Amino acid sequence: MIGSINGFSKLNKEEKINWIAKTYLNNQTAVVDLIKQYWNADEDLQKLHDEFIENTITNFYLPLGVAPNFLINDTWYTIPMVIEESSVVAAASKAAKFWADRGGFKATILNTEKIGQVHFMYKGDKQKLQAFVQAIQPVFLADTFSITQNMQKRGGGILAVELRDKTQEIADYYQLHVTFETKDSMGANFINSCLEQMATTLKREALSYGAFDAQEREIDVVMSILSNFVPNCVVRAEVSCPIEALASSEIKDPVLFAEKFVQAVRIAEIEPFRAVTHNKGVMNGVDAVVLATGNDFRAIEAGVHAYAAKDGQYRSLSHASIENGMFRFWIDLPLAVGTVGGLTSLHPMVKIALQMLQKPSATQLMQIIAVAGLAQNFAAVKSLTTTGIQQGHMKMHLMNILNQFKATDEERIKVVAHFEQHVVSHSAVVELLETLRK
């Protein structure tokens, strides 16, 4: 059957590619050659990349750009960003320069707790279960000490173990809700290892707990896993200035701009259809830095969007206000990131990105990422409430269209010059190219 194969993982890379080419690509030699062109010439470096995941056939490159001139807590940063979308890096850089001239960004860590849970079923007296969990608190800590001792030396470890009753939602369902401090590590493996040991401890200790009857001793653990929802691992980034200081070549009336900007943010606070796109703009900046620094952008995305809906309706992550003649724009983001472990110590580009950021701690990286998200959001809302989003975006997208149609250097010069005075659209670019080629 086309598309079905046994033992694929046991094939070497060449054999995997040949099977894909034969099955799906009609043995297109050019496509196979293209796949191989993306292999790294350094065999050791390629081997490193091959071993990041399973069944690798080649590398998939994304651009690594930089956004300079970020002044964060009175320190200058050039921020690395991995992203494929036109105008994101340019917009972040522009926002950085704008706010550097107005005092820069301020960032504050609000909390750094992370969460993990042991989900289990218990059929018995709730008060006896509560007493049992309280009684074995020291055993949880003792049994996990071999896992936590190094983390404790760095000031981290298990902060609290709490029993949560979820029987109103699912019959007999309870949780051990565990909070952690993982310092400069994202901590996923650490947290999961602790939770699995705690699950073992929970079941073992229940078997000999004198207050339980036979049924109550049979605790059934469903799963033990960290949560990517980290509402107590939060960073705040903000900018502020007197309203009149907002004046620039693009902002002729700072009072009108401030009022319109605040109104746009308020709309995103109450309208989910707008909030999703508004927050996507935030994540353009956040994800780009998360990727560049070797962190898990899927975990960040899931946690951030859950945070945006934490009060029952999906809302804007950022907020703006005008008070006593001051414009203020800020964002609170839940960010569980690390600067040690995982790809941070393996991927060569991640190492360079972290060096570029002056080897930040996890909390410093949280601040930098939040600032990147706020800067990107400011640039987007500023464009929306002044010139419109498409003017800048489509000019950046122009190069992609020209590449798509394999424009020559001469054609590029003429097309770029034309669109200095005209609105860029895909159809307009194609039409001009066709005219030039006649």
Q: Which residues are catalytic?
A: 85, 280, 296, 393
Backbone angles phi, psi at 402, to 5 degrees: -65, -40
Q: Where are the extended beta strands (E) located within 335-381?
A: none
Interatomic CA distance for residues 183 and 425, integer angstroms: 48
Torsion of CA 44, 47, 51, 55, to 10 degrees: 180
CA distance 438 to 429: 15
Across 163-174, b (16+ Cβ under 10 Å) vs e yields beeeeeeeeebb
**Could you tell me if 147 and 204 are in contact, meaning their C-beta atoms sit under 8 angstroms apart?**
no
* Three-state SS at 130: helix
* Alpha-helical regions (H) of 385-424: 389-404, 409-418
103: region left, alpha or beta (phi > 0 left; psi from -120 to 50 alpha): left
Torsion, Cα 331 311 165 206, to 10 degrees, reads -20
Mapped onto helix, strand or coil, the DSSP state of residue 224 is: strand
Report whether 300 contacts 392 (CB < 8 A). Answer: no
Buried b (16+ CB within 10 A) or exposed e, 382-403: bbbbbeebeebbbbbbbeebbe
Q: Which residues pair with 116 in a beta bridge?
A: 178, 226
Structure tokens at 427: 């159809």
